[in-house]
A and B are shown apart, each in its own frame.
Chain A
């Protein structure tokens, strides 16, 4: 019983991280139909930015979050301006170009910082555990869960309650007509891409105490995040949230029932089946196209 409860908590913790990575992906895909294969590298950049701030400026994870968000968002903004913007009419090529960008970012970090694993200290404030009966929950992991839900809520507000969100939804519905009404689709796209990248950066910052910070850390995470986006229904925020819990828990449970590798294979197989039979995800957004 104890093992299962603790594993469920581990699954939830994993889900909260996946959610933050997947949110950025989902927004970028939902808004512009771009499958961003460099997203994992945005996460990695966020992690390295956090490490750099802590090592060279002595800034802890929590105060570093705004800086990390802004700097990774800036990288995303540049990538969008320079590369992605030229490829909106060639969706397959955006996959390839963002894949290439991923390699460039990964190699740049490997050359600049080195391939060895870097260590980031978690915040002292959140050290220790909260125990409920047999369930032992690390305070930091609890914080990440709460934080990710706050990010989800903020993103939802941004999309539904602000002028920016309204314009974005207009552009998603019909870019040409929105432009006739004076909405600058290009700018909306740039900002959306930057925001998605910024979220990935935040996720990267938050996972530094939990994962080892290495140049290839993003690759594995982004596969899972993709699964979340696809399971959740492309572009759906609430779907992404539900799917991240589903996949986080599924991975956690598979890994105790069978072993880690087979668990991952089972999840991958599940995804393939899902795309085949429910190509619009489990929670498709209701639109008439």
Chain B
């Protein structure tokens, strides 16, 4: 086991303890506060999902919001059906008379939970195969995923009778999980979201430290070289895209449960950008840092947007540009670099040696 892996495991345990016990205590177990924080935790999942494809594999997916939206709508469709007798209200307003066939299986919770993971994974996988078989890389991945996101959101809003269009899906029922009615303002619900995040992070930490993660980092640095070692680069890239999309879908499902509605703004370009910002601020190389970034930025937004209602996005933009310019590795990079410096002080001889015999 490498020392980095040990650090990550320690960080994960501390993170889990703080989220599970520290935060609720600080919040005084207040239902409203817990719900707000659960929202941050759900967003942390989509941020860590992006760090897998962007930070580890170097594939900047600007369409992450699309897969998040798919998960969010899958859950909303189920809850909408539970809330209505037969036909959902907005369909009647749009002259849709029978329940569209895509909606029918969402009566089942099991199907919904599976669809919320697998549909994003499938669609993400299709786009990935399409791009990576042709060896599309770098900025072109960003542009294609962005174009896909814009087209997907337009299409979604356009199909008003099936999707609720611009209004999204509102008036949802509460989810019933094995007879437990999920109240988004309860401690139990908070624990559910926190548990999901910790499981997702544990999975992410394992993935980045597995040989799979190592090969992805190798591909990020030099894809051709990896091919000459016998790795099917397109397959690796496709799988990480699928995993990232599935996690984003998972986050989307939780997000619908938190807010009790689904909106097409979850699939907007600006939401996708927000995900990129969280991930960049925290540090894209580490899943824990990316999750942390999402929580910090959203907490800041929660505090500052009350004070500067209009100016918050301006501040966010400035923070983002500064991070990209001066902290490209995010908070994580800052921490790991200062840790290295501290170690250098601990071993002054090495430090001097390095100065006397610089590597050429």
Residues of A within 8 A of B (CB): 35, 83, 86-87, 90-93, 95-97, 99-104, 107-108, 110-111, 219, 223, 226-227, 230, 261-262, 264-265, 268-269, 271-272, 275-277, 279
The A-B contact count (CB < 8 A) is: 98
Judge whether B20 is part of the interface by a CB distance below 8 angstroms: no
Count chain B residues whose beta carbon lies closer than 8 angstroms to a beta carbon of A.
Answer: 35
For A35, the chain B residues whose CB sits under 8 A away are 139, 142-143
Q: Which of B265-318 contact A (CB under 8 A)?
A: 269, 273, 276, 280, 310-311, 313-314, 316-318
**Contact, CB under 8 Å: A92 / B313:** no
Interface residue stretch chosen among B45-53, B85-93, B149-157, B201-209: B149-157
**Contact, CB under 8 Å: B138 / A92:** yes
Complex CA–CA separation, A101 to B317 (angstroms)? 7
Complex CA–CA separation, A278 to B79 (angstroms)? 44
For A83, the chain B residues whose CB sits under 8 A away are 321, 325
Judge whether B103 is part of the interface by a CB distance below 8 angstroms: no
Given A92-B138, A111-B311, A279-B136, verify A97-B317 contact (CB < 8 Å): no
Considering only CB atoms, which chain B residue lies closest to A115 in the complex? B310
Judge whether B130 is part of the interface by a CB distance below 8 angstroms: yes
- Please list 18 pairs of residues, one from A and one from B, whose beta carbons are closer than 8 Å in the complex, sorted by A's number: A35-B139, A91-B138, A92-B60, A97-B321, A100-B317, A100-B324, A102-B317, A103-B314, A104-B317, A104-B318, A107-B310, A107-B314, A223-B147, A265-B158, A268-B147, A269-B151, A275-B140, A275-B143
Considering only CB atoms, which chain A residue lies closest to B142 in the complex? A95
**Contact, CB under 8 Å: B276 / A265:** no
Smallest CB separation, B35 vs chain A (Å): 28
Judge whether B9 is part of the interface by a CB distance below 8 angstroms: no
For A230, the chain B residues whose CB sits under 8 A away are 143
For B273, the chain A residues whose CB sits under 8 A away are 99, 103
Complex CA–CA separation, A93 to B158 (angstroms)? 33
Complex CA–CA separation, A261 to B160 (angstroms)? 12
For A107, the chain B residues whose CB sits under 8 A away are 310-311, 313-314, 317
Complex CA–CA separation, A110 to B312 (angstroms)? 12
Complex CA–CA separation, A272 to B134 (angstroms)? 12
Partner of A272, one of B147, B280, B324, B328: B147
Smallest CB separation, A256 vs chain B (Å): 17
Judge whether B185 is part of the interface by a CB distance below 8 angstroms: no
Considering only CB atoms, which chain A residue lies closest to B157 in the complex? A261
For A87, the chain B residues whose CB sits under 8 A away are 324-325
Smallest CB separation, B322 vs chain A (Å): 9
Considering only CB atoms, which chain B residue lies closest to A102 in the complex? B317
Complex CA–CA separation, A107 to B140 (angstroms)? 27
**Contact, CB under 8 Å: A103 / B313:** yes
**Contact, CB under 8 Å: A265 / B136:** no
**Contact, CB under 8 Å: B130 / A276:** yes
**Contact, CB under 8 Å: A91 / B314:** no
Considering only CB atoms, which chain A residue lies closest to B58 in the complex? A92
For B134, the chain A residues whose CB sits under 8 A away are 276-277, 279
**Contact, CB under 8 Å: B143 / A264:** no
Partner of B269, one of A86, A97, A219: A219
Smallest CB separation, B61 vs chain A (Å): 12
Partner of B158, one of A99, A101, A262: A262
Smallest CB separation, B126 vs chain A (Å): 12
Shortest Cβ-Cβ A-B pairs, 9 listed: A103-B317, A107-B314, A100-B321, A104-B317, A268-B151, A100-B320, A97-B324, A261-B158, A107-B313
Judge whether B12 is part of the interface by a CB distance below 8 angstroms: no
Considering only CB atoms, which chain A residue lies closest to B148 in the complex? A272
For B310, the chain A residues whose CB sits under 8 A away are 107, 110-111
Complex CA–CA separation, A110 to B131 (angstroms)? 37
Judge whether B144 is part of the interface by a CB distance below 8 angstroms: yes
**Contact, CB under 8 Å: B317 / A276:** no
Partner of B139, one of A95, A102, A261, A268: A95
Considering only CB atoms, which chain B residue lies closest to A226 in the complex? B143
**Contact, CB under 8 Å: A268 / B150:** yes
**Contact, CB under 8 Å: A276 / B131:** yes
